Chains A and B, each alone.
Chain A
Amino acid sequence: MTDPILRIENVSKRFTRMPGLAERLVGKVTGGGKPVVVHALSDVSLNVAPGEVVGIVGESGCGKSTLGRVVTGIYAPSDGRVTLHGKPIARERGGNIDKLTTQVQMIHQDPFASLNPRMKVGETLAEGPRHHCIIPAGEVRARMRELLEKVGLEGAYADRLPHQFSGGQRQRVAIARALAMEPDLLVLDEAVASLDVSIQAQVLNLFMDLRRDLGLTALFISHDLSVVRHVCDRVAIMYLGRLVELAPADQLYAEPKHPYTSALFASVPTVGTGRRVFEAIKGEIPSPINPPSGCAFHPRCPLAGPRCRVEVPRLTDAGPARTVACHLNDGGVGLQDAAA
């Protein structure tokens, strides 16, 4: 494997909500009023090679969007490092985040919220490149028209406002805005989740075309397993802020090794044999404010043993280019309590 372009090393992200003055006062009496800490990411490590598309999959609330935002430099990690070409993406200074690179760009989930409603799309596209002198000033207009055409819109649309576009067209504009910065890495945060299925296919095809033409590297965050399979080279499965399995897409879909991955696949509705059988994973996703002890998945895991309740499983190799965080994969020690 070539040198990774993006390195995520042992990244954790915690969000702390300090109680207000009134809550603190009440807390003095009742014993509450303590800061609430949400563990959005715990010890996540992941490398992305140039030209690779890595899928991040998990239920809502598992921290996949937080991971995307840490990589984009919208949040700074609480622990660990995120580097692009060996340089940090953002730094935190006095509670504010300074983003240090223009080479990571994000495409948001909802194209109705991600475009400034009072700015012409041409201006939206041109703003970043112009500010960072990525494109010579004289060529900006021509390049923006070119870019709009590249994402399947008309160059003349540059003078329109976002509300004159449909959802699919807006998402194309959002993709064009990200591409205008000529990024080395794209983060797609549920980029097609809010679109109609037919539009989803169009936007995905656009993404595949662009990937082929421009050699894009991307993190593709999604909860939709079939979309991920279609688009990604490798897939990372997340559960409650942790990476539980990482494998090349075809291998993962052929043979999931983590019980959570198997459960996710079992819950996907499929069309075909007529009778649909899908099992929802039992129980609710636990609260990241109070994560379960040991393996976070053990309360819902059909295979959980006593060891799972006390010891956090580490990511260990499970075949070429695969890692799994499950005691089942732990060289035969198995699920019994290690101490017992």
Chain B
Amino acid sequence: MTDTLTPESNVTAVPAAPPAETRVMRLRNFWSDYRQSWVAIAALIVIVALVLGAFFAPFLVPQDPYDLAKLDWLDAFLPPGTEGSGGYAHVLGTDNAGRDMLSAIFYGLRTSFVIGISAGALALAVGITVGLTAAYFGGRIEALLMRIVDLQLSMPAILLALVMVAMLGQGIPQIIFALVVAQYAYFARTTHGAASVERRKDYIEAARSTPLPTWRVMFKHLLPNVLPPLIVVATVQVASAISLEATLSFLGVGLPLTEPSLGTLISNGFKYIHAGRYWLSIYPGIFLMITVVAINLVGDQVRNVLDPRNSR
């Protein structure tokens, strides 16, 4: 055991040792597992296309639906495919103010994504902090925090979001705040579950007894080991934030028609559905459905890949 372990002689032994696993390799493994399902690949492509479409909407769609000066009353209620005064075909028709529905949908998607992703990310941050704190400190802190979380989980998220929006008023920041309040509990519960298991392991005790400061043990040692289940919850919660926002807007407490999200568009068109102007509601609805389903499908596949029982 003595001379084989000197650094010089080990230089020759290095090739025999397994190569260090890099982040790139882990990502590559993840991808090769992920692509096993063609449905998940299709869903991923759909999401990427929708996000890109929403992000570059100003360059892709014929009209800026927010610019009231560009809207023409004469173009109102044109059925899908009709050419309007702008000299181009309204592929998905126009609404009661002469807005091109395709343009409005992509601008609406943009709002929906901004709200869904930022609400999801903030709820994740808040939920992680609450869940980790509860699991790390235990005792009364844990009891208090987790009872609040349980209380919240026992109520429908939409009800809580409605109350919050009623208190805060309309607008994108208010909606995001309401969604975070409604959704952080899911993250807190998931984090708490995973973290209470990891908390008892020796590496946490080793880090604590070094000693390292509490925040460092929590966020450098505990957090990285509870992330995989959170990634899954995060994707699902983004989808759920988008549909919650759409619901709020549909109920008329979300965003005003001047900055429409998909929910606002559906709600606006709903008034005319009995007049046979189906395209005002149906198309935003289809886009909303595709978005939410695609995100959920991706989330399912991510869960399958990260599930240790399915690992190779």
> Is the Cβ of B224 less than 8 Å from the Cβ of A99?
no
Q: How many residues of B contact A (CB 8 A)?
A: 30
A72 partner, pick from B137, B209, B216, beta carbons under 8 A: B209
**Is B1 interfacial (CB-CB < 8 Å)?**
yes
A96–B217 Cα distance when bound, in Å, is 14
A160 partner, pick from B21, B139, B206, B220, beta carbons under 8 A: B21
Minimum distance in angstroms from B209 CB to a CB of chain A: 5
Question: Chain B, 1-41, contact with A by CB distance < 8 Å: what is the 0/1 string?
Answer: 10001110010011001101100000000000000000000
> Is the Cβ of B5 less than 8 Å from the Cβ of A128?
no
A140–B81 Cα distance when bound, in Å, is 68
Question: Chain B, 197-215, contact with A by CB distance < 8 Å: what is the 0/1 string?
Answer: 0000111011111111100
Q: How large is the interface on A (under 10, 10 to 19, 20 to 34, 35 or more residues)?
A: 35 or more
Which B residues lie within 8 Å of A102 (CB)? 210-211
**Is A127 interfacial (CB-CB < 8 Å)?**
yes
A114-B202, A164-B18, A205-B1 given; A128·B224 CB < 8 A: no
Which B residues lie within 8 Å of A96 (CB)? 137
B204 — nearest CB in chain A belongs to which residue?
Answer: A116
A111 — nearest CB in chain B belongs to which residue?
Answer: B202
> Is the Cβ of A156 less than 8 Å from the Cβ of B202?
no
Main secondary structure of the interface of B (DSSP, over half): helix
> Is the Cβ of A154 less than 8 Å from the Cβ of B14?
yes
Minimum distance in angstroms from A109 CB to a CB of chain B: 8
Residue from the set B208, B211, B225 with the largest chain A CB neighbour count within 10 Å? B211
B207 partner, pick from A116, A152, A154, A160, beta carbons under 8 A: A116
Which B residues lie within 8 Å of A271 (CB)? none
B1 partner, pick from A115, A128, A181, A202, beta carbons under 8 A: A202
A116-B203, A119-B224 given; A99·B209 CB < 8 A: yes
Chain A 69-107 interface residues, beta-carbon cutoff 8 Å to B: 72-74, 95-96, 98-99, 102, 105-106
> Is the Cβ of B212 less than 8 Å from the Cβ of A110?
no
> Is the Cβ of B14 less than 8 Å from the Cβ of A156?
yes
A160–B14 Cα distance when bound, in Å, is 13
> Is the Cβ of A128 less than 8 Å from the Cβ of B210?
yes
Which B residues lie within 8 Å of A105 (CB)? 209-210
CB-based closest 9 A-B pairs: A99-B211, A114-B202, A113-B202, A128-B210, A118-B224, A152-B5, A108-B202, A116-B203, A154-B10
Interchain residue pairs with CB less than 8 A apart (6): A73-B211, A74-B208, A110-B202, A113-B203, A117-B203, A202-B1
**Chain A residues proximal to chain B, CB less than 8 Å:** 72-74, 95-96, 98-99, 102, 105-106, 108-110, 113-119, 127-128, 131, 149, 152-156, 159-161, 164, 174, 177, 181, 202, 205-206
